[in-house]
Amino acid sequence: MIIDGKQIAQELRQTIANEVALLERKPGLAVILIGDDPASAVYVRNKGIACKEAGFYSEKINKPASITQAALLSEIERLNNDDKIDGILVQLPLPQHLDANLVIEAINPAKDVDGFHSENIGKLMQNNPFLRPCTPKGVMTMLKTTGVDLAGKHCVVVGASNIVGRPMAMELLNARATVTICNSKTQDLSGKLKQADIVVAAVGIANMIQGDWIKSGAIVIDVGINKLDNGHLVGDVDFESAQKVADWITPVPGGVGPMTIATLLENTLTAYKARKEK
Ligand code: NDP
């Protein structure tokens, strides 16, 4: 069966919009875009559209690629102190002369709706999460729709980046799964995958994971987004062969991607509520 990320994301966005309609103040999200990378511009535009549809207040802040680190940090400080803004997101990747770690650490953790600040990652590690990285959190929402209890399941996460693989593994561990995290040096990847009840692929290599690497009845979550020479988007999993063995599988496009944006709205609402309670 297909896990329809588009549909699940749409329902989540509608639930958020219904809740926002009842609030006295609109939750505010500021998205900072540095430079003119076309892919980043598309992501930022889609986030703006999603905000508008959900009834959020949103600010898009465009800065040239030549911006200095100091100027970017002072822009973040301004937003940290702006009461209309509940969530701040700096679209990654940044131009080489800017230090992404310093930039992320400059965001007030209470407004860190990407969930990348060390304080929020630390809370996730301690199984006391507050703002959780959007893509892995979105995957957890998708897994919930299958009705499968994750406790005791063997999950293999392929990829160990700070934004997907590592927090994904932590989310699964927090759900009491048994987790294996793989990276580019992992030996016998196919053997490890063959033992997995749940596979999460976040590598960035088109169609790398083949159907005969997957255990019969597994759940397969494909985070990868890879553009082929013919312009088509595919995941890290070879969908055709994998869907024949998996019980549940996410498509690309229309799988994890839409969930990431819906979860960003969810996080902004969480940040809004937490600030209101203070
Ligand atoms: P990164 O490039 O930051 O990380 C890739 C990870 O994959 C690294 O840990 C790397 O290992 C590992 N890796 C590389 N080659 C292999 C291999 N042959 N076998 C096993 N592991 C390998 O990528 P991201 O995590 O940022 O993104 C991964 C994919 O997910 C991309 O396609 C990206 O576009 C997509 N993505 C999708 C999102 C969505 O919303 N759907 C959101 C974010 C990303 P090592 O640590 O050793 O280098």
Q: Where are the domains of the chain?
A: 25-108, 134-257
Catalytic-labelled residue, pool 86, 111, 112, 114: 114
Q: Which of 223, 232, 237, 264 to mutate to test the pocket of ligand 1 (most atoms within 8 A of CB)?
A: 223
Q: Tell me whether residue 47 is one of the annotated catalytic residues.
A: yes
CATH class, domain 25-108, is: alpha beta
Query: Whole-prediction pTM value?
Result: 0.98
Q: Is 185 in the pocket of ligand 1 (CB under 6 A)?
A: yes
User: Using one digit for the tens of pLDDT, what is the confidence trace for 126-135?
Assistant: 999 999 999 9
Question: What is the number of helices (H) and of strands (E) in the chain?
Answer: 10, 10
Q: Is 134 in the pocket of ligand 1 (CB under 6 A)?
A: no
HSE, CB side, 13 Å, CA atoms: give it for residue 102: 12
User: Using one digit for the tens of pLDDT, what is the confidence trace for 79-115?
Assistant: 999 999 999 999 999 999 999 999 999 999 999 999 9
> Which residues sit opposite 158 in a β-bridge?
182, 201
Q: Is 165 in the pocket of ligand 1 (CB under 6 A)?
A: yes
Sign, CA dihedral 13-15-16-18, equals positive
Q: Tell me whether residue 114 is one of the annotated catalytic residues.
A: yes
Q: Tell me whether residue 6 is one of the annotated catalytic residues.
A: no
CATH 3.40.50.720 at 134-257, yes or no: yes
